[in-house]
């Protein structure tokens, strides 16, 4: 993060120096904005140029490329802007040397002037800013390594509501209620197995085992009833 900010500041300073350089003298007190763009390819002439048709135009384009590189944190785009500034400056120096039969630096005001040095310095600052920037990929990699390790998901089953701990409340809780007997016919009230063992051989109290009436109209036992009574109450010897 700090490297990106520092590199962006240096690149902006370089782009500003490159854009300002055509407004200074480049050779023999001639301003850089007086040189036409086509003079860089056809040869230097004495014809003056407009501001937007001069060597200022490629420097403005380089400044725009620098802003794009800073916004997207791309060091390669910023470096491209620096190469554009240095490339056009060197191309002008070649054409000017051909027109003047060589380049000279004279303290009396002739030869190369301050504008050329400022343009070259702006291109170098753009390249230096690109080197200082960490770039987008390295910043993203640093952010990923700074993040803590992910916590593994909890695969344990959800036990809500929580189970009741054994205690007084759990020990005194009543048990399940007995199911009601849906049968209401004869013989519904049966004795337990122990009672069945004691009363084996005797009919239940509410169970009617007689297939016909116990007595007839005269009060005598019905036929076959005596036989059933003797079966349950055997005679004593």
- So what's the pLDDT on residue 232? 45
pLDDT per position as a tens digit, 100-156: 888 877 666 677 889 999 999 999 999 999 999 987 765 555 555 555 556 666 666
What is the token pair recorded at 12?
């902006």
Name the most confidently modeled range: 20-29, 147-156, 202-211, 221-230: 20-29
CATH code of domain 2-146: 1.20.140
Q: What is the rounded average pLDDT of the residues 191-212?
A: 49
| DSSP single-letter state for residue 136 | H
- pTM beyond 0.95: no
| Pairwise CA distance, residues 28 & 49, whole Å | 17
Distance from C-alpha of 82 to C-alpha of 63, rounded to nearest angstrom: 9
pLDDT for position 207: 47
Identify the burial level of 8 via C-beta atoms within 10 angstroms of its C-beta, where 0-12 means exposed, 13-18 middle and 19 or more buried. Answer: buried
Q: Which two tokens stand for residue 60?
A: 């403005």
Give the residue extent of every domain in the chain.
2-146
The two three-digit tokens of residue 120, written as one number? 């070259």
Q: Which residues are registered as beta bridge partners of 232?
A: none
- Compute the distance between CA of residue 150 and CA of residue 143 in angstroms, rounded to an integer: 14
Query: Per-residue pLDDT for 23 more than 60?
Result: yes
Q: How confident is the model at residue 19 (pLDDT cuts 50, 70, 90)?
A: very high
Per-residue confidence band for 39, with pLDDT thresholds at 50, 70 and 90? confident
Contact 23, 153 (CB under 8 A): no
């Amino acid at each position: 993060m700090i490297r990106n900010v520092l590199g962006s500041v240096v690149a902006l300073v370089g782009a500003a120096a490159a854009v300002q350089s055509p407004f200074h003298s480049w050779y023999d007190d001639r301003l850089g904005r007086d040189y036409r763009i086509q003079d860089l390819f056809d040869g230097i002439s004495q014809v003056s140029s407009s501001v937007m048709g001069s060597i200022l135009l490629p420097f403005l384009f380089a400044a725009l490329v620098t802003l794009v590189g800073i916004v997207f944190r791309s060091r390669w785009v910023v470096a491209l802007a620096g190469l554009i500034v240095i490339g056009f400056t060197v191309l002008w120096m070649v054409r000017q040397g051909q027109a003047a039969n060589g380049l000279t630096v004279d303290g009396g005001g002739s030869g190369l002037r301050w504008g050329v040095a400022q343009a070259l310095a702006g291109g170098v600052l753009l390249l230096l800013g690109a080197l200082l920037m960490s770039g987008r990929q390295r910043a993203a990699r640093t952010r990923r390594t700074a993040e803590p390790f992910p916590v593994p998901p909890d695969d344990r089953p959800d036990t809500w509501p929580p189970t009741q701990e054994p205690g007084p409340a759990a020990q005194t809780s009543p048990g399940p209620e007995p199911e009601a007997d849906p049968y209401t016919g004869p013989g519904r009230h049966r004795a337990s197995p122990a009672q069945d063992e004691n009363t084996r051989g005797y009919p239940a109290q509410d169970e009617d085992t007689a297939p016909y009436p116990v007595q007839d109209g005269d009060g005598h036992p019905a036929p076959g009833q005596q036989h059933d009574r003797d079966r349950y109450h055997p005679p004593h010897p």
